[in-house]
Amino acid sequence: MKHVLQVLLAASVWLMTVTGFAQTTLVQWNFEGAPGSLTAAAASTITADNAAFGSEVTNVTFVAGNGGGRAYTGTGWNVTSPDANKYIQISLGPVASYTMALSQLSFDEQRSGTGPTTWVLRSSLDNFTADINTTPTSTTSPTSNGSFTSRVVSLSANTAFQNLSAPITFRIYGYGASGPGGTWRFDNIQVSGTTGPSDPTAPLLSVIPGSLPSFATVPGTPSTAKSYTISGVNLTGDLTITAPTGYEVSKDNGTSYATVQTLTQSGGTIASTAISVRLTGAGSGAVNGTITNVAGAVSQNVTVSGSVDVSNGPVSIATARGQAGTTVIIQGRVTVSSQFGGKLFYIQDATGGIAVYDPTTSYGNQVQLGDLVQVSGPVALFQGKKEINGVITFLKVNDTNQPVTPQVITVTQLTSGAFEG
């Protein structure tokens, strides 16, 4: 693949290889943070701007997102057709000497009962003239059931979105609201596809994303792991992954951790591999740094930040129950695991109990009665009862199956719900 006469063969091999990366998330706007964030999590070969509403979208704010976390919302969608100033916008582009091929754009959306009834997607390639989703799609997720609807627009068959070397902007226009106060919220906007060097025979190392959300733990205890994926083609050497001081990395989904890991290339290729990262809990204070990923002459970095502090530890369940609308970290022993199907389970500490619910993952099926677990997520009300609704992090501290000691309570305490679970 390195001889001049083999350029065409090398190009075809590269194209076949990156095709294997299809549907890789190049960039995502998930609006997480406090009170929310418009910044994007992007692959190392992608640059991205902040998400933004058009100038005539009003009452812009952050609200509860899909399955927990945050979403971005606004009003003013009461027009009968796409309006030049009523949209949500995202922009992305490849870094220098790279191109990108886009396969799809997806997002989660939810409207209020008087919110927009129709949306269309347009791009800067034709100055936002033509609808990319050729049949306008009705938004059918009213607040009566409190759900988001996932939207997917395929871009792979549109040659205009392939082999892009310059930034592109997408706008999602909403219209048809029955009143000016009708809301429309967005979460998890992402663009998928592939990137590659302008020269298809050049070594390519790709990491997604190029930075990880902040870590937090208490002294002496490893944090919950976060992960990125790495892949490469046309490599001239094996891949060495080195964690900065205070962090460890794993190449086997968290089975074993070390400060240095090695992935062996085969024929110049490293298949897409998930790398788990955790804060070790050594020392105290802010722990920031860069994970280096080096294979021969090419390298990509992943930035990490976090803190080791006693204040990062869990609060009591009694305290958490008094903080509705706030994201908390709690720890307790499982009193109900899979008995309600797994998506809902209960934990208890010395101060009380609480239900933990996640709409997508059956954490209750991963534990047994008596297991000690640590969970973070927002405290919410469901049918008048406090619960963690939407798990952000989940950690099984130990699985000793220690029975929960029954606690004697009064009838008043029983009816108050403070000891639920």
CB 165 within 8 A of CB 125: no
The fourth-level CATH superfamily of domain 204-308 is Immunoglobulins (2.60.40.10)
**Residue 273 CA to chain centroid, in angstroms?**
17
Of the pLDDT bands very low, low, confident and very high (cuts 50, 70, 90), residue 14 is very low
Q: Exposed e or buried b for every residue in 255-264, given b needs 16+ CB within 10 A?
A: eebeeebebe
- Residues 151, 166: Cα–Cα separation, whole Å: 25
Residue range 250-271, pLDDT digits in tens:
999 999 999 999 999 999 999 9
209 preceded by cis ω (within 30°)?
yes
The fourth-level CATH superfamily of domain 4-197 is Galactose-binding domain-like (2.60.120.260)
User: What DSSP state is assigned to residue 351?
Assistant: T
Q: In this predicted structure, which of 268-272, 332-336, 405-409 has the lowest mean pLDDT?
A: 405-409
Residue range 352-382, pLDDT digits in tens:
899 999 998 889 998 889 888 989 888 998 8
pLDDT of 404 reads 67
pLDDT of 135 reads 64
- Residues 257, 252: Cα–Cα separation, whole Å: 9
Provide the token pair at 232. 């490469």
- Write the secondary structure of 169-235 as one string of H (helix), E (strand) and C (coil): EEEEEEECCCCCCCCEEEEEEEEEEEEEECCCCCCEEEEECCECCCEEECCCCCCCCEEEEEEEECC
Residue range 317-332, pLDDT digits in tens:
888 888 888 888 898 9
Across the range 57-83, mean pLDDT stands at 92
DSSP string, 271-292: EEEEEEEEE---S-EE--EEEE
Provide the token pair at 246. 């205070």
Q: How many CA atoms within 13 Å lie on the side-chain side of 301?
A: 5
Residue range 269-288, pLDDT digits in tens:
999 999 999 999 888 889 99
In the predicted structure, residue 124 carries a pLDDT above the cut 70: yes
pLDDT of 10 reads 33
**Residue 417 CA to chain centroid, in angstroms?**
33
CB 372 within 8 A of CB 221: no
Q: In this predicted structure, which of 116-125, 146-155, 384-393, 402-411 has the lowest mean pLDDT?
A: 402-411
The CATH fold assigned to 314-416 is OB fold (Dihydrolipoamide Acetyltransferase, E2P) (2.40.50)
| Prediction pTM value | 0.54
Domain ranges of the chain: 4-197, 204-308, 314-416
Higher pLDDT, 236 or 142: 236
Of the pLDDT bands very low, low, confident and very high (cuts 50, 70, 90), residue 8 is very low
Share of residues in the chain with pLDDT > 70 (%): 87
Share of residues in the chain with pLDDT > 90 (%): 53
- Residues 419, 413: Cα–Cα separation, whole Å: 7
